[in-house]
């Protein structure tokens, strides 16, 4: 189940709060998804779910990543 699938199961009013809580960051040189997840105190699985299509070993500087 992706983050988007999960969002579609939430009541509309609660969904708006959830969607607003996503923050977009730019990957910096040397970042890894694990390090980003650690820095924001979230699980790697939550970070991956918020970024469908992002390959963990192929992130690059300047790439946009969503933080749940």
pTM: 0.68
pLDDT of residue 20: 55
Higher pLDDT, 27 or 2: 27
Domain, as residue range, for 42: 3-67
Domain count along the chain:
1
Q: What would you measure as the largest C-alpha separation in the chain, in angstroms? A: 38
Q: Compute the distance between CA of residue 60 and CA of residue 42 in angstroms, rounded to an integer.
A: 20
Residue 63 pLDDT > 90? yes
Distance separating alpha carbons of residues 51 and 27, to the nearest angstrom:
13
Q: Summarize the confidence of residues 56-61 as an average pLDDT.
A: 92
pLDDT at 21 over 80: no
- 26-56 pLDDT tens trace: 999 999 999 999 999 999 999 998 999 998 8
Domain CATH for 60:
3.10.350.10
């Amino acid at each position: 189940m992706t983050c988007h699938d999960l969002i579609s199961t939430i009541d509309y009013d609660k969904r708006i709060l959830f969607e607003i809580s996503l923050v977009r960051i730019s990957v910096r040189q040397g970042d890894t998804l694990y390090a980003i997840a650690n820095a924001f105190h979230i699980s790697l699985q939550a970070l991956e779910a918020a970024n469908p299509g992002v390959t963990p070993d192929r992130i690059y500087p300047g790439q946009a990543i969503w933080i749940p």
